[in-house]
Amino acid sequence: MLTPEEWVRQHTVQFLIQEKGYSASLINVEKQLNLHGTKKRYDIVVFNPNGSIFLIVECKAPTIEINQETFDQIARYNLVTQAEYLMVTNGLDHFYCQMDYNNERYVFLRELP
């Protein structure tokens, strides 16, 4: 079913392929991960050719405001995925971050590399 969140997810995948030039074969959508004994699902992951995770994306419905809680959610997922970059979007607002593991923080970017 095409829920508002699914609409955002599908359009974000197309943005990653068409606008950013990421290979569709390196994109994975809605897979399960284990986080401290609980099963969670990430929305989108883009892999590096070597299999490490380049980017994890959290998608929300357009009516959902992107706030600290949203960033906390993707940060928790990233404890498992260890991505280089994070993206949070509701289809209207998009936020990009690069992970700085040495200083345990993320750095906001204007756009993805």
CA-CA-CA-CA torsion sign (10, 13, 17, 19) = positive
Domain count, the chain: 1
Separation between Cα atoms, residue 96 and residue 45, nearest integer Å? 14
| Residue 7 CB partners (closer than 8 Å, separation 6+) | 91
Report pLDDT digits (tens) over 27-58: 999 777 666 677 777 899 999 999 999 999 99
Which residue range forms the structural domain that includes residue 86? 4-109
CATH value at residue 102: 3.90.1570.30
Report pLDDT digits (tens) over 68-103: 888 888 888 888 889 999 999 999 999 999 999 899
Q: What is the pTM of this model?
A: 0.89
